[in-house]
Amino acid sequence: MTKVLGISGSLRRGSYNSALLRAAARLMPEDATLEIASIRGIPLYDGDVEAQGIPAAVTQLKEAIIAADGVLLVTPEYNNSVPGVFKNAIDWLSRPASDVKRVFGGRRFALLGASAGAFGTVLSQAAWLPVLRTLGTQPWFGARLMVARAAGVFDEAGNLKEALIEEQLKQFLAGYVAFLRRAAAGASRAGQPGQPGQGGQAQGG
C-alpha cells in the first residue's frame, strides 16, 4: 500500500485547495491512500517559542510526513507567490535544523493547487521549488495541475463538479503514485530506504 500525506496551504473553511485535496483522497489509485493533514494550530515561527520546545502541532505533522511514502502540497497563490501561512508551517517543520534530513531529506514531494484567478497557481508552484530544493526533497515533475477559475470548478458544498478537472486530477495522482512505487522499488533493490538530501538552512532573525 502506497501512503501519501496531503497538506492544504489554506485555513479558510471554504478553501478551494482543501476541496481539491478532499477530491484527491477520493480519486487515489488502487492500493494507495491519501491521508489529509492540517497546518491549523501551528503558530507563527518565533525562535523564542522554539527555545521553549517545538509545538505539538508541528511535531505531529513531522511524524505524519516521516510515516508517508510521499507528500502532496496543495497550494494557493497569494500575490504571485506562496501563502505565508503555508511557508510558515514548512519553516517550523525544518526546526531544529538537525531535523531537516529526517523530515525532508530525499522525501518525494508533489505540488498542485487551485486559484480563483485565470492562471491557476503557476507562480506559487514555481516559488515552492527553491524551498523544496533547499530542504533536500525529491520533487516529482511528471505532471502539473493548476486549477484556474476554481469558483466554477467546485459546487457550494466544495465538491468537484468539473469532469475534465476530475480526470486531470486522477491522472496526476496515478502518475505520482507510480513515481513513488518506482522509487521504492529502486531503493529496495539497492538495499536502502531512499536517498537523503543534504539541504536545510539555519534560521534566525
Count of domains observed in the chain: 1
Residue 202 lies in a domain: no
Residue 123 lies in a domain: yes
Range of the domain at 40: 2-190
Segments in the chain below pLDDT 50: 195-202
pLDDT digits (tens, 9 = 90+) for 88-118: 999 999 999 999 999 999 999 999 999 999 9
Task: Give the start-end residues of each E strand in 28-139.
Answer: 32-37, 70-74, 108-114, 138-139
DSSP at 42: P
Cβ contact 41:57 at 8 Å: yes
State the CB neighbour count (10 A cutoff) for residue 64: 17
Cβ contact 14:91 at 8 Å: no
Q: How far is CA 33 from CA 12, 39, 41, 88, 174, in A?
A: 24, 20, 24, 26, 12
Q: What's the CATH code of the domain at 110?
A: 3.40.50.360
Amino acid at 190: A
Residue 76 lies in a domain: yes
Q: Is residue 96 reached through a cis peptide bond, with omega within 30 degrees of 0 on the bond before it?
A: yes
Q: CA-to-CA distance for 4 and 69, rounded, in angstroms?
A: 6
Provide the pLDDT for residue 188: 76
State the CB neighbour count (10 A cutoff) for residue 19: 23
Residue 21 lies in a domain: yes
Provide the pLDDT for residue 202: 42
Provide the pLDDT for residue 196: 42
Residue 9 lies in a domain: yes
Evaluate if pTM is beyond 0.75. Answer: yes
Torsion angle, alpha carbons of 162, 165, 171, 177, to 10: -100
